[in-house]
């Protein structure tokens, strides 16, 4: 869709035009948006500062300064194939904004749905006092967990010092410095005590699959993706050591994406629960401490 050069386009018209350009450029959508139209709207709304709940937003005119900035960001997105959240320096998770850059994976996990209410089917939020998150990245799951469990403190680990710099920025952005402790270390290294809930979205992509991913994924840190030959190396380590850190009535939630079958093959006697998600995504396994201990021993 072409835009008249001498008029300020409406938001709706600009979304149509940018969506067509993005689709024609064959960029990959998978970092918070699913279509060119979704991505165009995200870009325009971010630059102008619009509320997605504003029913009149589509009729607003886009001034020349905003239009120039939008065009510059669109050019970056198309020419570099950087995912839009990196271009904007912001991603949304569980209804909250987070700063992101190439030091961290872009948030897109169904943990967002779990931590905005779905997890309460299994876990009573008022009973949770200590939460451990393994592999925090930008800190989005740790922040969402602190909000989901208002009486809990959260310990969040990551092997990457650079990722923890981003996480610290986001913890501060949401005013949670007094409730979230960031620890640099491999999985449980540097962690002490027991936890009511352990959460992890670890690397789970097989080594052989990394080269097949679209160009956008190559901008994300490799260490956040790869986990051995079948993708289950790190998830298996997390499960094996979890009983040392889970409270007797605690719960573990771990994301393995499309590796659900592989995880069950590795742990055939562990009775995992696999929640279904209303807003897309899959591959998060839930297991109680008691069931995990029994399954590992049998």
pLDDT tens per residue across span 45-55: 999 998 888 88
pLDDT tens sequence across 224-257: 988 888 889 999 999 999 999 999 999 999 999 9
Other C-beta atoms lying within 10 Å of the C-beta of residue 88: 19
Last residue of a domain, one of 88, 115, 142: 88
Q: CA triplet 5, 19, 217: central angle to 5 degrees? A: 130
pLDDT-based confidence at residue 37 (cuts at 50, 70, 90): very high
The answer to the question of residue 95 being in a domain is no
Are 133 and 266 part of one and the same domain? yes
* pTM of structure: 0.93
Task: Report the residue count for the chain.
Answer: 298
Helix (H) or strand (E) holding 48: helix 36-48
Residue 210's pLDDT is what? Answer: 82
Are 233 and 264 part of one and the same domain? yes
The answer to the question of residue 175 being in a domain is yes
Strand 130-134 relative to strand 153-158, pairing: parallel
The whole-angstrom separation of Cα 135 and Cα 132 is 10
- 283 pLDDT more than 60: yes
Are 82 and 128 part of one and the same domain? no
Residue 196: which domain range? 102-297
For the chain, count helices (H), then strands (E). 10, 8
Other C-beta atoms lying within 10 Å of the C-beta of residue 42: 20
Are 76 and 126 part of one and the same domain? no
The whole-angstrom separation of Cα 26 and Cα 170 is 32
The answer to the question of residue 93 being in a domain is no
CATH of the domain at 292: 3.40.50.150
pLDDT tens sequence across 96-107: 999 999 999 999
pLDDT tens sequence across 158-204: 999 999 999 999 999 999 999 999 999 999 999 999 999 999 999 98
């Amino acid at each position: 869709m072409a835009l008249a050069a001498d008029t300020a386009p409406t938001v709706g018209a600009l979304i149509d035009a940018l969506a067509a350009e993005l689709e024609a450029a064959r960029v990959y959508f998978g970092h918070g948006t699913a279509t060119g139209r979704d991505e165009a709207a995200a870009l325009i709304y971010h630059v102008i500062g619009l509320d997605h709940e504003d029913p009149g937003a589509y009729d607003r005119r886009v001034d020349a300064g905003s239009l120039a900035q939008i065009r510059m960001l669109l050019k970056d997105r198309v020419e570099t194939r950087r995912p839009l959240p990196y271009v904007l320096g912001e991603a949304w998770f569980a209804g909250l904004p987070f700063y992101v850059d190439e030091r961290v994976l872009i948030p897109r996990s169904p943990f967002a749905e779990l931590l905005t209410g779905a997890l309460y089917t299994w876990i009573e939020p008022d009973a949770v006092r200590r939460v451990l998150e393994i592999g925090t990245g930008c800190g989005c799951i740790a922040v969402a967990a602190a909000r989901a469990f208002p009486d809990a403190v959260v310990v969040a680990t990551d092997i990457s010092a650079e990722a923890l710099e981003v996480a610290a920025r986001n913890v501060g952005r949401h005013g949670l410095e007094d409730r979230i402790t960031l620890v640099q270390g491999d999985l449980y290294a540097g962690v002490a005590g027991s936890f009511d809930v352990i959460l992890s979205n670890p690397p789970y992509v097989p080594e052989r699959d990394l080269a097949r991913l679209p160009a956008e994924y190559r901008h994300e840190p490799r260490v956040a993706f790869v986990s051995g030959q079948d993708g289950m190396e790190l998830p298996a380590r997390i499960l094996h050591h979890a009983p040392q850190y889970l409270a007797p009535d605690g719960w573990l939630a771990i994301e393995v994406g499309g590796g659900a079958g592989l995880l069950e093959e590795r742990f055939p006697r562990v009775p995992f629960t696999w929640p279904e998600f209303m807003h897309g995504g899959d591959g998060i396994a839930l297991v109680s401490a008691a069931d995990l201990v029994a399954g590992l021993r049998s």
